[in-house]
Amino acid sequence: MEVVGGHELQERIGGGITGSVWRAGQLAVKVFNDDENHVFRNEVKVLMRLDSHYLAKCLHAGMSAHPAVHGVKMTPYIVFPLYGPALNRRLRDDNLPLGVVKTLARCLFGGLSALHRSNIVHADIKPENILSNGEAFVIADFGVSVYAGERVTDTVGTPEYLAPEVILDQMWGAPYDIWSAHLVIYSALTRTPLFDIYSEYDVCYGDDVDGVATDGVAMTDDEDASDPTALAYRTLMLMVKVIGPMPNPRRARRYLDVNGQPVGGPVTPIGVESLLLQLTSDDMCEPKSAAEFITAGLQWNPDARPTDDAVLAHAWLAHGQ
Ligand SMILES: Nc1ncnc2c1ncn2[C@@H]1O[C@H](COP(=O)(O)OP(=O)(O)O)[C@@H](O)[C@H]1O
Ligand SMILES: [Mg+2]
């Protein structure tokens, strides 16, 4: 059994391109690939600044030495408490009761509030990076987090959860997290992403999205799915379809016309509520107020999005379960 930093790695519980996460008794050890030192440093730098019930806690971080062909190999690692399953795994198994989704929202925006008060933008809010913690949830994975005020225009994050300003290579900051977090709440209610860009079937969006997809930039084969321009177009088109045309679309000229509609042809906005009605049962999510909650966060203009504290004070969270 491999040992890292004195911890026996018992079972692989997660991981991706930058490394892997292992269970070690009641701990979780995130082991970074040797060439991902910058991601490790970034994550540690952020974790050291933070202390909130709603953010994953770093217990220890270090470099573990292993014999290698030329001298000693150093593997960076971070030790966390072992939390419960990530949100994506819980959604794979079953629907979350409404009360749990509201708890999720309180934890998520509570964690973001602490993060944003420290001037940090998470930049990759999605179900995989939100972990169960008993009845509550914590935000994890600060590998690509940045300090607000640093000039950031790089595209960082996961396609389904990217905010429009990120897709359009514009400056982004805390409102990016606010956008993604509202999409996470939608995913938690419906078990599908709102902007399901990889799906070939627009079950809920109706025919005209299919039409535009093929008139504009088709996404029906693998080649197109890997083309960032096609992906950006498709995502922006779905955004118009759900939240309406983009005002001031000057900087999105490549994808949207002067009316803020997709260049391949206009689509009719349907709104979040009708999607919730199709995908959930009434008593399950209070579709009207849930839709109002989600729509409030999905503003094209980042400055028009609510702050974390405003979200936490929203009637949907304040009342009921
Ligand atoms: N402390 C932890 N407790 C339990 N599971 C964890 C913990 N940290 C990470 N995981 C699991 O590992 C996955 C990847 O962790 P993450 O920090 O997001 O790394 P990556 O940078 O590879 O995405 C998470 O989606 C989750 O399933
Ligand atoms: Mg992750």
Between CA 287 and CA 269 the distance in angstroms is 17
**Distance (Å) of CA 26 to CA 10, 23, 73, 76, 82:** 11, 7, 27, 20, 5
CA 15, 165, 106: angle at the middle one, nearest 5? Answer: 60
Which residue ranges of the chain lie beneath pLDDT 50? 201, 203-204, 207-223
% of the chain beyond a pLDDT of 90? 72
CATH of domain 3-81: 3.30.200.20
User: Residue 266 half-sphere exposure, CB side, CA atoms within 13 Å?
Assistant: 8
CATH of domain 87-205+270-318: 1.10.510.10
| DSSP string for residues in 245-314 | PPSSGGGGTTTB-TTSSBTT------HHHHHHHHHS-HHHH-HHHHHHHHHHH--SSGGGSPPHHHHHT-
Ligand nearest to the CA of 13: 1
Q: Which helix (H) or strand (E) holds 14?
A: strand 11-15
Pairing status of strand 7-8 against strand 146-147: unpaired
Tell me the one-letter amino acid at 236: L
Q: What is the pLDDT of residue 268?
A: 94
Would the CB of 213 count as within 6 Å of ligand 1?
A: no
Distance 78 CA to ligand 1 centre (A): 11
Question: What is the token pair recorded at 48?
Answer: 């050291």
Report which of 188, 196, 150 is spatially closest to residue 316, judged by C-alpha positions: 188
Q: What is the pLDDT of residue 141?
A: 96
133-157 pLDDT, tens digit each: 999 999 999 999 998 876 565 668 8
CA 21 to ligand 1: nearest atom: 12
Q: Whose CA is nearest to atom 25 of ligand 1?
A: 128
Distance 129 CA to ligand 2 centre (A): 5
Q: What is the pLDDT of residue 211?
A: 39
The answer to whether the CB of 130 falls within 8 A of the CB of 86 is yes
Distance 26 CA to ligand 2 centre (A): 20
Domains in the chain: boundaries: 3-81, 87-205+270-318
Distance 32 CA to ligand 1 centre (A): 12
Report which of 144, 137, 162 is spatially closest to residue 53, judged by C-alpha positions: 137
Question: What is the token pair recorded at 269?
Answer: 């906005």
Between CA 242 and CA 262 the distance in angstroms is 13
Distance 123 CA to ligand 1 centre (A): 16
Question: What is the token pair recorded at 204?
Answer: 């809920």
Would the CB of 143 count as within 6 Å of ligand 1?
A: yes
Three-state SS at 135 = coil
CA 39 to ligand 1: nearest atom: 21
Question: What is the token pair recorded at 15?
Answer: 């991981």
Q: What is the pLDDT of residue 303?
A: 96
- Residue 9 has phi, psi (to 5 degrees) of -85, 110
Between CA 55 and CA 236 the distance in angstroms is 31
Side by side, which strands form the sheet with 72-81?
Answer: 11-15, 19-24, 27-32, 72-81, 60-67
Between CA 294 and CA 299 the distance in angstroms is 10
200-226 pLDDT, tens digit each: 545 445 544 443 443 334 444 444 556
Would the CB of 28 count as within 6 Å of ligand 1?
A: yes
Q: Whose CA is nearest to atom 13 of ligand 1?
A: 14
Would the CB of 299 count as within 6 Å of ligand 1?
A: no
Between CA 8 and CA 20 the distance in angstroms is 14
